[in-house]
Structure 1
Amino acid sequence: MNKISLIIPTYKRIIDFQRTLISVYKQINDIDEVIIVIGPNDIESFNLAIQYKGLNDNFKVIQIQKASVVNALNCGLLKSTKDIICLTDDDIVLPEGWAKRIKEGFLNDPKMGAFGGPDKLTDKNLDSKYGYNPVKEVGVFKWNTMVGNHHLGIIKSPSEVDVLKGVNLSFKREALKSMCIDSFLEFKGAEQCWEIDLAQRIQANGFKIIYDNDNFLYHFISQRESYDKRGDIFSELNYNKTLNINYVYAKFRPLYEIFFLIFKQFFIGSKIQPGIIRAFFMIKKNGLKVVYLPFKNCIPIYLGLFGGFKKRFKKK
């Protein structure tokens, strides 16, 4: 069949959403089904989506009662009917030929289960905001970390990777088998790490994950809701990220990677999620309460690991 279902979750970003729909509509002949999932009490986005539904029967509109990306995507996946599923955000612009390239990619490589590429961070003129210099690696696991860099190109392209970014992620229905994202990862807002879980499941089913520089889209930096501030080290969102990353590692990754993740989180950490050592250097800026963060993070680390190992052993 080689037909595409495109799923777009959106919540109260009407200007960005309108720009996204304009670019989608321009290649609607190559996108066989557009499923728009709208968060609660977002009347503006709902009315706009209904207008496009009136223009073309390929558009479907769903309104949900919880502001959660995982919940929105799961609702969209349940409604999807085509054999290629494409996931994206409401603050992107699709370049010409995007959908056609995805169809050709899956047609040319039957063992490819998922296909992605760069999300070029841009401004309103579609000019690169942070540059676009190719790097050596994108979306791969190392013994001591997971390399991101998905918004950049990769020197060797196309290339087989471990993880794709959710804003530009397409996969074959047969590669995922169970058409849902693990509900353990659900929280609120733009939850993180669900792409890792999705990609690892596709790999576990024996399919390749391919990243290709030519399979890019434009990605705007949009305003987030008040509970979705990723730069706030004390936010609930960072608690959820810690929970989720430990869960997906315990569920899929080798034990030595899991042990190093625990060590790194507790003793070193990052600017957003500091460990004991880093926290002491952040006291001047954030106050003494920052010292308690590594110990507070022990709770989501434990809960994530416990849940992940439970799911891991249940599969065997």
Structure 2
Amino acid sequence: MNITVLIPTYRRPQDLLRCLDALTKQIRSPDEVLVVARDSDRATWDAIATVETGALPIRTVSVTIPGQVAALNTGIEAAKGDIIAITDDDAAPRPHWLERIAYHFETDDAVGGVGGRDWLYVGGTDRDDGKSAVVGRVQWFGRVIGRHNLGFGEPREVEILKGANMSYRKQAIAIAKFDTRLLGAGAQVHNDLAFSLGVKRRGWKLIYDPAADIDHYQAQRFDEDQRDQFNETAFFNAVHNETIALLDYLPMWRRIVFLIWAFLVGTRKAFGLVQWLRFFPKDGGFASRKLWLSLKGRWEGFQTWRMPPGDRTPQEGAAISVPPS
């Protein structure tokens, strides 16, 4: 099976070069490396030009529309492989990454997606070596458990794959696109959640294999979402996007349970009333602000979800073009 490695990138040339270098060390070599970059990102195009000819089967695609969703949709459309393995530009796949991915697809025709552990590096040096037996699940009432950076043990079926380390059988995503309803100027948080749940909903198996692992250095983002720094717009967008993804995935009775739980209880990252009561003694008005943003995100996410497709404003429209000279 031919494998395309898809890398969306924006203004992180040194991280991209580290990622490409890691791909030259794969035990199972990629058949195509597809780098999707913004047409205006001169630093990235200059960095790609420095890659030694013949080191990798690199093909480049230019996009004009901001955001990761447009880049990923353009890349999927352009990819030639039977398998599309997606990673971030600030990641460095370990040598057996593609070998493990190929194994799962080749041994089970029902497998539509494969992902693995991403070893997170805090500040670029300190690795998080924690462990979690539960990875990539949606609990019956709608709470999402990610923890892809903490998984260990044997390969197993999951419901969610993480964007930095996920791959899909092209047949499984022939009618799929990353969701253009999602909000965000750059990362469009939870696009991976929505996409993997869509593949799962259509009946394909998703496999999480901790041995198909990468090193993930979490470089700077160039939008409102700055990871560990609170930003009201990023907080609202994340709640809005998660709401759409879960309402798409859950059956009717679980949607109702999820909405009740989300408004009454919630989580640290999307407050409900219980979480507000929990944090209010310590955080006061800040907790109240998070509650307001969470409730607003849930409500507007619900409104977006129930909107007829023809009334939605698409965020896609990226065009495949020749790289700047």
- Give TM-score, length-normalised by structure 1: 0.86
Segments of 5+ residues of structure 1 without an aligned counterpart are none
Q: Which residue of 1 aligns with 2:94?
A: 95
3-state SS of 2:6 partner: strand
How far is the alpha carbon of 1:186 from its aligned partner?
4.9
Give the aligned partner of residue 201 of structure 1: 198
Q: Deviations over 1:114-140 (max 9, x none)?
A: 011101113799x8711143x221101
CA deviations on 1:147-187 (whole Å, 9 max, x unpaired) are: 111011234x1111111111110110111122521211253
Please, which runs of 5 or more residues in structure 2 have no aligned partner? 310-325
Matched AA of 2:179: D
Residues 55/162 of structure 1: CA separation in 2 closer, same or farther (3 Å cut):
same
Distance 1:238 1:172, change over 3 A: same
* SS of residue in 2 equivalent to 1:100: helix
Structure 1 residue 42 and structure 2 residue 41: aligned?
yes
User: Is 1:258 equivalent to 2:258 in the alignment?
Assistant: no
Q: Which letter does structure 2 place at the counterpart of 1:5?
A: T
Residue in 1 aligned with 2:114?
115
Amino acid at match of 1:51: T
Query: 2:213 corresponds to which letter in structure 1?
Result: F
What whole-Å deviation, never above 9, does each CA across 1:51-99 have from its counterpart, x for those lacking one?
Answer: 3374457211223234311111111111111110111101111111322
- The structural deviation recorded for 1:222 is 1.9
Give the stretch that moved more between structures: 294-303 or 197-206: 294-303
SS at match of 1:189: coil
More helix by share: 1
Corresponding residue for 2:315? none
CA 185–292 in structure 1, closer or farther in 2 if over 3 Å, else same: same
Aligned-partner Cα distance in 1 for 2:280–2:212: 43
The yes-or-no answer on 1:27 pairing with 2:36 is no
Once the two structures are superposed, residues 29-69 of structure 1 have per-residue CA deviations (whole angstroms, 9 ceiling, x without a partner) of 72111111123532111111133374457211223234311
Change (3 A) 1:292 1:122: closer
User: Which has a greater percent of strand?
Assistant: 2
Q: 1:292 to 1:121 in 2, by over 3 A?
A: closer
Structure 1 CA distance, aligned partners of 2:150 and 2:268?
Answer: 22
Percent same amino acid among aligned pairs? Answer: 25
Could you tell me how far 1:265 is from its partner in structure 2? 3.4
Shift of 1:308: 2.7
1:140 matches 2:175: no
Q: What is the CA distance between 1:299 and its match in structure 2?
A: 3.5
**Residues 29 and 266 from structure 1, CA distance in 2 versus in 1: closer, same or farther, beyond 3 angstroms?**
closer
Query: What is the aligned partner in structure 2 of residue 248 from structure 1?
Result: 245
Structure 2 match to 1:153: 151
- Give the aligned residue type for 1:122: Y
Q: Specify the SS of the correspondent of 2:127.
A: coil
1:1-316 matched pairs, under 5 angstroms: 2-27=1-26, 30-39=29-38, 41-52=40-51, 54-55=53-54, 58-122=57-121, 129-133=127-131, 135-144=132-141, 145-155=143-153, 157-279=154-276, 282=279, 288=285, 290-310=287-307
Q: Please say if residues 35 and 80 of structure 1, whose CA atoms lie closer than 8 Å, have aligned partners that are also in contact.
A: yes
Q: What SS is found at the alignment partner of 1:298?
A: helix
Q: Which amino acid aligns with 2:45?
A: F
C-alpha separation between the residues in 2 aligned to 1:290 and 1:38?
A: 38
CA displacement, residues 254-308 of structure 1 (integer Å, 9 cap, x when unaligned):
3343334333433333334333443356557766364244334434322322333
TM-score w.r.t. length of structure 2: 0.84
> Does the 8 Å contact 1:68/1:187 carry over to 2?
yes
Structure 1 residues 204 and 267: alpha-carbon distance in aligned structure 2, compared to 1, 3 A threshold: closer
Q: Aligned to 1:113, what secondary structure does the other structure show?
A: strand
- Higher mean C-alpha displacement, 198-207 vs 24-33: 24-33
CA RMSD of aligned residues (A): 2.7
User: Which of structures 1 and 2 has the larger relative contact order (alpha carbons within 8 angstroms, sep 6+)?
Assistant: 2
Q: Aligned pairs, how many?
A: 308
